[in-house]
Amino acid sequence: MIRECWSPSLRRPTAPHFRVTPVQGHLGSGTPRFRDTPVQGHPGSGTPRFRDTPVQGHPGSGTPRFRDTPLSPNNAVHHSTTAPSCSLCGSMPIGGCPSRAAFLPTATLGHRSPRHHTLVRGGSRPSPTFSARTRFPTRAVVAMASPPPSPITFVTGNANKLSEVQAILSTGDPPLVITSKALDLPELQGTPAAIAEAKARAAVEAVGGPVLVEDTSLAFSALGGLPGPYIKWFLEALGVDRLGTLLAAHEDKSAHAVCTFAYCGGVGQPVTVLEGRTPGVIVEPRGETRFGWDPVFQPDEGGGRTYAEMPAAAKNAISHRGRALAKVRAFLHTGGGGGGSDDS
């Protein structure tokens, strides 16, 4: 038996594999704060598996801030293999869930718009539902993806960034075409998320439509994460050849390259921040000095090469930017950017 139903509070279309859950402390705040949980059942789909969890410490900022949280086996399992209906979104698996994500879009069953399959463990009560793990109402799992809003303008003053972003988004699955605008946006001091958010707010004022911006950090472990988002100024002051001297007194040469994207759908709309990071070590410069600090960053997964020694596609496959853009793509293609029938 297939049981499906919907809750009137469900507004935001997302892909079938996301659970969107309001998070403690933000209920009724008027700001959409979600935890998006890609789930099992989409092997090889190219969809990143992560849970974006709003991060504490930004009360009243009006902006959902996410951090990546490794999935535990429990919350990674969207469609229970044992329950007769999905233990989280409540859909009845059709033809092989969880391995094939075979859920019947509610819209195909006669609803006017895509709606959530509400939790019915054992096939009984429909909604509203509470996540057993969080005790907060499960706000939406919508069974249809929606196209991203367009056009999205990527605002940056950095041509190398732009070319990487275009290469990654246009060759990804599904491809995403963006326009661009070269603007040198003001950059505040603060966390990468706060800086990216401020850039997005400035960009949306300048463009007047959906914008994407990013801020890149290079964080040295031995220096407590510095230079971090200020790497640009350290690079300008020292040059790539002398960047490593910052770590001369330290044995620990480990570092993280971090890319923090911020998306805003329009003036006055919330900003969503998504991050990708790549661990590595700081080494003597090797390879082409084409882009910033690429010659001194040797990613752990780069086979001993620096970013500068890697072909573009190989860098993009493991880079901080590639990882962040995988999340951006998932967010936009699942209606997170407002491309669907979001009327909440």
How far apart are alpha carbons 130 and 21 in whole angstroms? Answer: 9
* Residues present in the chain in total: 344
Distance in Å, CB of 199 to ligand CZF, minimum: 7
> Contact at 8 Å (CB) between 18 and 335?
no
Looking at the Cβ atoms of 291 and 331, the one nearer to ligand CZF is: 291
Distance in Å, CB of 174 to ligand CZF, minimum: 24
- Residues 6, 9, 15, 19, CA torsion sign: negative
3-state secondary structure of 57: coil
> Contact at 8 Å (CB) between 153 and 161?
no
In the region spanning residues 272 to 301, those forming contacts with ligand CZF, defined by CB under 6 A, are 291-294
Residue 256, both tokens: 């993280």
CB atoms within 10 A of CB 293: 24
Angle at 289 between CA 288 and CA 293, to 5 degrees: 120
> Contact at 8 Å (CB) between 32 and 52?
no
Looking at the Cβ atoms of 296 and 332, the one nearer to ligand CZF is: 296
- Residues 239, 240, 242, 244, CA torsion sign: positive
Looking at the Cβ atoms of 293 and 331, the one nearer to ligand CZF is: 293
Looking at the Cβ atoms of 91 and 156, the one nearer to ligand CZF is: 156
In the region spanning residues 297 to 326, those forming contacts with ligand CZF, defined by CB under 6 A, are 307, 321
Looking at the Cβ atoms of 4 and 164, the one nearer to ligand CZF is: 164
Total residues in contact with ligand CZF, by rule CB under 6 A: 19
Looking at the Cβ atoms of 184 and 343, the one nearer to ligand CZF is: 184
- Among 46, 57, 96, 157, the residue binding ligand CZF under the rule CB under 6 A is 157
In the region spanning residues 4 to 63, those forming contacts with ligand CZF, defined by CB under 6 A, are none
In the region spanning residues 185 to 214, those forming contacts with ligand CZF, defined by CB under 6 A, are 185, 187, 214
Q: Buried b / exposed e across 197-206, counting CB within 10 Å, b at 16+?
A: bbbbbbbbee
Compose the 100-119 pattern: x for residues touching ligand CZF by CB under 6 A, - for all others: --------------------
331 makes contact with ligand CZF (CB under 6 A): no
**Both ends of the chain: CA-CA distance in Å?**
31
Angle at 191 between CA 279 and CA 225, to 5 degrees: 40
Compose the 222-261 pattern: x for residues touching ligand CZF by CB under 6 A, - for all others: ---------xx--x--------------------------
How far apart are alpha carbons 109 and 87 in whole angstroms? Answer: 21
> Contact at 8 Å (CB) between 170 and 178?
no
Looking at the Cβ atoms of 15 and 231, the one nearer to ligand CZF is: 231
How far apart are alpha carbons 269 and 263 in whole angstroms? Answer: 10
How far apart are alpha carbons 307 and 297 in whole angstroms? Answer: 6
- Among 16, 215, 263, 329, the residue binding ligand CZF under the rule CB under 6 A is 215
Distance in Å, CB of 234 to ligand CZF, minimum: 9
Q: Which stretch binds ligand CZF (CB under 6 A): 155-163, 241-249, 275-283, 336-344?
A: 155-163
> Contact at 8 Å (CB) between 214 and 324?
yes
156 makes contact with ligand CZF (CB under 6 A): yes
Looking at the Cβ atoms of 18 and 291, the one nearer to ligand CZF is: 291
Compose the 61-90 pattern: x for residues touching ligand CZF by CB under 6 A, - for all others: ------------------------------
Distance in Å, CB of 207 to ligand CZF, minimum: 14
Question: In angstroms, how far apart are the furthest CA atoms of the chain?
Answer: 67
Site of interaction with ligand CZF (CB under 6 A): 156-158, 161, 184-185, 187, 214-216, 231-232, 235, 291-294, 307, 321
